[in-house]
Chains A and B, each alone.
Chain A
């Protein structure tokens, strides 16, 4: 088994916010089956805040835990605050990830950003701190398998 922290195992075994939001304000999909991980994030926005965040994930224990904690971190935040959730922050919140699972934390942060980008596009608004195009994160850490 990978050396997962207790917090990773907790979020894997009891993931928070699993599911789909039928009339989501924004949807973000990242990953591919070659890589082994796929995540879909759904958000609803009220008064510029993430009112609800849900996810669906195909992937390993780390991928599920990353999705779960990212959804928890994002919920209730303003859009400007939420786009500042980086892979490094996600990994830190999970009390660390095994080295070969870092790319999972990238996916979580990316999926959330994609959902917010989708919302911004639909509304025709600009959100401070939201990058133009998804894909890369600040650390430039790519999924080796992709």
Chain B
């Protein structure tokens, strides 16, 4: 450690931030840059070919989430899909009322979209979570009032990996006659997602979370649900998302969806074994390491921790030197210099939230990669603890 030599291995464990594009996905996309470059809305064979390609992708993405192809609206990202859902659904219902419910651990694209609605005169209720990050369906039901027009709770949280009881929440929300959206960006392609089994009215997903390209996302919206577009323009995506379609990205997302359906069971089984090895291995190797998120209801590729007495960025810098890429929810690693709202909502004190580390395993990873992390991380932790005033204080009190 500490020299400028090349790392022994390169292990990209930041797959919750984004995944690489699979070779088959890239292959599928390539013809749509230079050979099939027509505008899908054009009335000629160039346009026909492009339109057929996005129609096929629409079928593939719909199959991944159990919806109808015509209910899929392609967007530029998960963020855009969430914005479209929160703003578009709420505004579509605003003659009925102006109250929206979200959970306290939503992604910023839901949280901040809700804040924008607040500025436009909506009332927003944030329902809390328990220490595992689980939303209580009764808490959601109890927050519904006459003016409530939309509830949005994420399917799985990207920071702590917790999977929410969406079917239970949706059932209660639907009983009250209110629209329900779920942000399934972190879960789609990794675990089974079925819009009918979940009982939702709208669901967001992003291609780059399951080995598709960046710049690809989709919002599935149940038929006959009113949605106000974010932008004004032409008739693309049924007028719900105008703008010339990003054909290569849409094709890539479709292909990635097809592969995710085919390989999901195998990927999930393999990755959850590696995840469990990491979740067991790190607290066994180092004292004062907390596993964040739910112990069992969690994404198969997701392991997250808080390392007590130290701060995340220092670990990230050292890990990068060792060829290991991970994320943290510490204040220092965020541009806004605020600790993760997710960890704080789960009741973790700030000094512990600052030591957060999150691992997103990838489909190519092996036991050797996890062993490498379990070998390299403990000395980094102890090195940073040696200079921590919090650790010194703890050791003194212990004595």
Interface, chain A (partner B; CB < 8 A): 1-2, 9, 12-15, 18-20, 29, 32-40, 55-64, 100, 103, 143-145
A to B CB contacts below 8 Å, 26 in the list: A1-B317, A1-B320, A2-B313, A12-B314, A13-B2, A13-B318, A14-B2, A34-B331, A35-B331, A35-B337, A36-B311, A36-B331, A37-B332, A38-B389, A39-B389, A57-B388, A58-B311, A58-B388, A59-B332, A60-B311, A60-B332, A60-B333, A61-B314, A64-B314, A144-B337, A145-B331
Among B316, B317, B320, B332, the most chain A Cβ lie within 10 Å of the Cβ of B332
**Contact, CB under 8 Å: B388 / A56:** yes
Task: Report the nearest B residue to A104, measured CB to CB.
Answer: B332
The answer to whether the Cβ of B309 comes within 8 Å of any Cβ in the partner chain is yes
| List of B residues within 8 angstroms of A63 by Cβ | 311, 332
**Contact, CB under 8 Å: A15 / B387:** yes
CA–CA, A39 and B390, complex, Å? 10
Check A18/B354 contact, CB under 8 A, given A59-B311, A61-B317, A100-B335.
no
**Contact, CB under 8 Å: A33 / B349:** yes
| List of B residues within 8 angstroms of A36 by Cβ | 311, 330-332, 337, 339, 354
Interface, chain B (partner A; CB < 8 A): 2, 309-311, 313-314, 316-318, 320-321, 330-333, 335-339, 349-351, 354, 386-390, 392
| List of A residues within 8 angstroms of B330 by Cβ | 36, 60
**Contact, CB under 8 Å: B338 / A145:** yes
CA–CA, A1 and B318, complex, Å? 11
Among A60, A103, A143, the most chain B Cβ lie within 10 Å of the Cβ of A60
Task: Report the nearest A residue to B354, measured CB to CB.
Answer: A36
CA–CA, A1 and B236, complex, Å? 38
CA–CA, A59 and B335, complex, Å? 15
CA–CA, A38 and B391, complex, Å? 12
A70 shortest CB reach to chain B, Å: 14
CA–CA, A32 and B390, complex, Å? 11
Among A9, A14, A20, A64, the most chain B Cβ lie within 10 Å of the Cβ of A64
Task: Report the nearest B residue to A98, measured CB to CB.
Answer: B335
**Contact, CB under 8 Å: A40 / B350:** no
Task: Report the nearest B residue to A20, measured CB to CB.
Answer: B392
| List of B residues within 8 angstroms of A143 by Cβ | 337
Task: Given A33-B351, A36-B332, output 9 extra A-B contacts at Cβ < 8 Å.
Answer: A13-B321, A19-B387, A35-B331, A36-B337, A57-B387, A57-B389, A58-B389, A60-B333, A145-B337
**Contact, CB under 8 Å: B387 / A64:** yes
| List of B residues within 8 angstroms of A58 by Cβ | 309-311, 351, 354, 388-390
| List of B residues within 8 angstroms of A9 by Cβ | 317
**Contact, CB under 8 Å: B2 / A29:** no
CA–CA, A36 and B276, complex, Å? 29
B346 shortest CB reach to chain A, Å: 16
CA–CA, A62 and B2, complex, Å? 17
B169 shortest CB reach to chain A, Å: 31
A100 shortest CB reach to chain B, Å: 6
| List of A residues within 8 angstroms of B392 by Cβ | 20, 56
| List of B residues within 8 angstroms of A62 by Cβ | 332
**Contact, CB under 8 Å: B354 / A1:** no
| List of A residues within 8 angstroms of B313 by Cβ | 2, 59-61
| List of B residues within 8 angstroms of A32 by Cβ | 350
| List of B residues within 8 angstroms of A12 by Cβ | 314, 317
CA–CA, A14 and B316, complex, Å? 16
Check A1/B350 contact, CB under 8 A, given A57-B388, A60-B332, A100-B337.
no
| List of A residues within 8 angstroms of B331 by Cβ | 34-36, 145
| List of A residues within 8 angstroms of B337 by Cβ | 35-36, 100, 103, 143-145
**Contact, CB under 8 Å: B339 / A34:** yes
| List of A residues within 8 angstroms of B339 by Cβ | 34, 36
B87 shortest CB reach to chain A, Å: 28
**Among the listed A38, A61, A64, which residue makes an inter-chain contact with B390, where contact means beta carbons less than 8 Å apart?**
A38
**Contact, CB under 8 Å: B389 / A56:** yes
**Contact, CB under 8 Å: A60 / B335:** no
**Contact, CB under 8 Å: A40 / B389:** yes
CA–CA, A144 and B353, complex, Å? 18
CA–CA, A18 and B390, complex, Å? 14
Check A18/B320 contact, CB under 8 A, given A59-B332, A60-B311, A145-B337.
no
CA–CA, A103 and B337, complex, Å? 10
CA–CA, A112 and B285, complex, Å? 36
**Contact, CB under 8 Å: B314 / A33:** no
**Contact, CB under 8 Å: A59 / B349:** no
Among B317, B320, B333, B350, the most chain A Cβ lie within 10 Å of the Cβ of B317
CA–CA, A35 and B388, complex, Å? 15
B184 shortest CB reach to chain A, Å: 30
CA–CA, A60 and B332, complex, Å? 6
